[in-house]
Structure 1
Amino acid sequence: MSFDVPDDRRYLESHEWALETDGVVRVGISDFAQDELGDVVFVELPDEGDDLDQKAEFGVVESIKAVSDLYAPVGGEVVAINDDLFDAPELVNEDPFGEGWMLEIEPDDPDDLEALLTADEYEEQIA
């Protein structure tokens, strides 16, 4: 099976993606992760203003098959969360790299992104 792995992002080994735009990093889970989880029924996210450490747990995604912890690809302040997921958690399945994004972080250290997997490295991991 082939999964979408956009090469404009970096990835955590735990299947979160990070996309930096104008100094803010948008975070979600990969196509592979949403497929493994199955139908997502609930997402728990931090509050705006929360400070996260890189690779620290920031929330939970619950599906009909499993409950999975979510980890921050970069450390910093949560500046936005995707409120749409509370009413429509299935967006994580339908559009994991678009409408299914989870939160945005203003990173403490922009170099955090460099420590993450490239799209090619992530594809090797999930192959």
Structure 2
Amino acid sequence: MRFTKDHEWVEVDGDVATIGITNYAAQQLGDVVFVDLPSAGKAVKAGEELAVVESVKAASDVYAPVSGEVVEANGEVAEAPETVNAMPEAGGWFVKLKLADPAELDALMDRDAYEAFLATL
């Protein structure tokens, strides 16, 4: 699993990246009440808005940590947004992307680096 400073995570299986928000992000948001996900087929570039998460506290953009084409959106989080709080780094994933450039993963943090980053916040 790889992480961004914006608290997104990426897990890669072959040429498909599963993307979600971290446990830290889910805790900061509070109770998630709505998730707006992109449709399959949408192309995104690293750093662009990928999804929107609304909680009882605020609405927040989720950015694509890597570039690619959306191959699947997680309908479960759209129908049951509380899944994001319950399992942010598992069943609460947002989308699966077909990677455009696997080398982009090299710019992301591993778990140890992410944990060190969190300690500075």
TM-score scaled by length of structure 1: 0.91
| From 18, 24, 42, the counterpart of 2:16 | 24
Please state whether the residue corresponding to 1:101 is helix, strand or coil.
coil
For 2:82 and 2:27, locate their aligned partners in 1 and report how far apart those are by CA, in whole Å: 12
**Mapping of residues 1-127 of structure 1, within 5 Å:** 9-127=1-119
For 2:102 and 2:78, locate their aligned partners in 1 and report how far apart those are by CA, in whole Å: 29
- 1:86 is displaced (CA, Å) by 1.6
Indicate the percent of aligned positions where both proteins have the same amino acid: 45
- Conservation of the 8 A alpha-carbon contact between 2:85 and 2:92: yes
TM-score scaled by length of structure 2: 0.96
Please state whether the residue corresponding to 2:60 is helix, strand or coil.
strand
State the AA in 1 paired with 2:83: L
Runs of 5+ consecutive residues of structure 2 not aligned to the other structure:
none
Q: What is the aligned length?
A: 119
- 1:105 is displaced (CA, Å) by 0.5
Provide, for residues 87-113 of structure 1, a one-character-per-residue CA deviation record: whole Å limited to 9, x for no partner: 100000000111101000001101111
- Conservation of the 8 A alpha-carbon contact between 2:37 and 2:78: no
For 1:86 and 1:70, locate their aligned partners in 2 and report how far apart those are by CA, in whole Å: 14
For 1:86 and 1:11, locate their aligned partners in 2 and report how far apart those are by CA, in whole Å: 22
Please state whether the residue corresponding to 2:93 is helix, strand or coil.
coil
Provide, for residues 32-83 of structure 1, a one-character-per-residue CA deviation record: whole Å limited to 9, x for no partner: 0000000000001111000000111111101001111000011010000001
State the AA in 2 paired with 1:85: V
Q: What is the root-mean-square deviation of aligned Cα atoms in Å?
A: 0.7
